[in-house]
Amino acid sequence: MKKITIEDVARRAGVSKGTVSAVINAKTSVKPTTRDHILNVMKELNFRPKGVARNLKSINQDKSIGFIIKDLNYPFYTSIASGVTEYANSKGYSVIITSSDNDHKSEKRFSHLFSIKDIKGIIIAPVAEGTAEIEHLFKLKMINYPFVLLEDIRGIQANVVAIDNIKAIKRAVKYLIKSGHKKIVHFAGPPSSTHTHERIDGFRYAFSESTLVFNKDLIVFIGSHNEESYAKTIEYFKDKPREEYPTAIVCFNDQQALAVMLALRDLDIKVPDEISIVGNDDIYYAKIYPVPLTTIHAPLHEIGMKAAEILINNIESSTLLPNERVIFETEFIIRDSTKVINEPTIKSHDHY
């Protein structure tokens, strides 16, 4: 199969190679109508710009994909990375992993770097900070550069591999309600995250299907980093009389849940005797927390495998493939951090 070159694009578009190069490098010297015409030709031909390294005369060039995660220290992403690496290696690809450290500018910088080097495509755990901050993703689409997102981003039609966050949190809250809990709060994650808002929706929907009344005070944004989550948990409880404590907290993720547990320990609030805690992700050390954590198990390795599969299929296809959106189911794992208040309401055949 003949490789499509910049010369082919220039010939089809009826412009010079320099004009095509200017479009690829987002130069402002090209008229918008000409730029749009060239971009359309690139898509028609399924052309992808060559990185610098591709110009080297090498018979055995290495094939690589990139993975931009949010936090190198959180096992959620390392578990996904293991799946990405396993599938990629089976197809002869290496994986280059970097972290945005939850910083949008870093994500933008790395995505640009990967797209102009000899990295065939990228998987991104995106940092979304409003529609104005996803310009770099539009640019990747414009130049037909393959990428897969690990959560939906409003305004971007792209390949997505994720979990059903709404259903997962709804199931957890439903379990707590059936366990007799009436004072349940949700400690939410970063406001910029799509996952945060999906989990808030799941929490709210569980209330709408019960006799409990939802109000916005039940959602408390405490972030997902240890220090921030710990400090905001202390702040939430410090002036609250014990009779106003919630009996259960549904956390944004397991990392946040650990910070909440440590804060409650320092406040002399016992888990689960006084407050039950539910996490999310079932990272590998959740079962050895100070109190083993009831949490939502996500198939992280499988998510990584599927994301890599979709990405490599797009890289190796000679035609433009339609976007895929793959949503994985989760499993609710009950451990010691939750307490049943009203035993008779829980039946073995109940589903959450």
**181 pLDDT tier (thresholds 50, 70, 90):** very high
What is the pLDDT, as a whole number, of residue 59?
37
Beta bridge partners, 221, equal: 188
How far apart (Å, rounded) are the C-alpha atoms in residues 48 and 3? Answer: 10
Model's pTM, two decimal places? 0.80
Fold for the domain defined by 6-45: 434 Repressor (Amino-terminal Domain) (1.10.260)
How far apart (Å, rounded) are the C-alpha atoms in residues 300 and 219? Answer: 26
What is the pLDDT, as a whole number, of residue 32?
85
What is the pLDDT, as a whole number, of residue 87?
97
- Average pLDDT value for residue range 89-102: 93
How far apart (Å, rounded) are the C-alpha atoms in residues 102 and 239? Answer: 31
Lowest mean pLDDT of 37-51, 93-107, 108-122, name the range.
37-51
**14 pLDDT tier (thresholds 50, 70, 90):** very high
Lowest mean pLDDT of 44-53, 113-122, 208-217, name the range.
44-53
Fold for the domain defined by 62-162+300-328: Rossmann fold (3.40.50)
Domain chopping of the chain, boundaries = 6-45, 62-162+300-328, 165-298+332-345
- For residue 61, pLDDT over 70 is answered with no
What is the pLDDT, as a whole number, of residue 131?
52
Q: Cis peptide before 272, with omega less than 30 degrees from 0?
A: yes
Cα distances (angstroms) measured from residue 164 to each of 74, 196, 326: 20, 12, 10
- For residue 129, pLDDT over 80 is answered with no
Q: Give percent above pLDDT 90 in the chain.
A: 65
Asked if domains 6-45 and 62-162+300-328 share a fold, the reply is: no
What is the rounded average pLDDT for all residues in the chain?
Answer: 89
What is the pLDDT, as a whole number, of residue 30?
87
Lowest mean pLDDT of 31-40, 165-174, 299-308, name the range.
31-40
- Average pLDDT value for residue range 99-119: 88
Three-class DSSP labels, the chain:
CCCCCHHHHHHHHCCCHHHHHHHHCCCCCCCHHHHHHHHHHHHHHCCCCCCHHHHCCCCCCCEEEEEEECCCCCHHHHHHHHHHHHHHHHCCEEEEEEECCCCHHHHHHHHHHHHHCCCCCEEECCCCCCHHHCHHHHHHHHCCCCEEECCCCCCCCCEEEEECHHHHHHHHHHHHHHCCCCCEEEEECCCCCHHHHHHHHHHHHHHHCCCCCCCHHHEEECCCCHHHHHHHHHHHHHCCCHHHCCCEEEECCHHHHHHHHHHHHHCCCCCCCCCEEECCECCCCHHHCCCCCEEEECCHHHHHHHHHHHHHHHHHCCCCCCCCEEEECCEEECCCCCCCCCHHHCCCCCCC
How far apart (Å, rounded) are the C-alpha atoms in residues 279 and 293? Answer: 7
**Are residues 293 and 70 in contact, defined by beta-carbon separation less than 8 angstroms?**
no
pLDDT tens digits, 68-77 = 998 888 889 9
Q: Is domain 165-298+332-345 annotated with CATH 3.40.50.2300?
A: yes
What is the pLDDT, as a whole number, of residue 334?
97
What is the pLDDT, as a whole number, of residue 225?
87
- For residue 90, pLDDT over 80 is answered with yes
Residue 206, both tokens: 């569980």
- For residue 179, pLDDT over 80 is answered with yes
φ, ψ dihedrals at 23, nearest 5°: -65, -45
- Average pLDDT value for residue range 204-231: 95
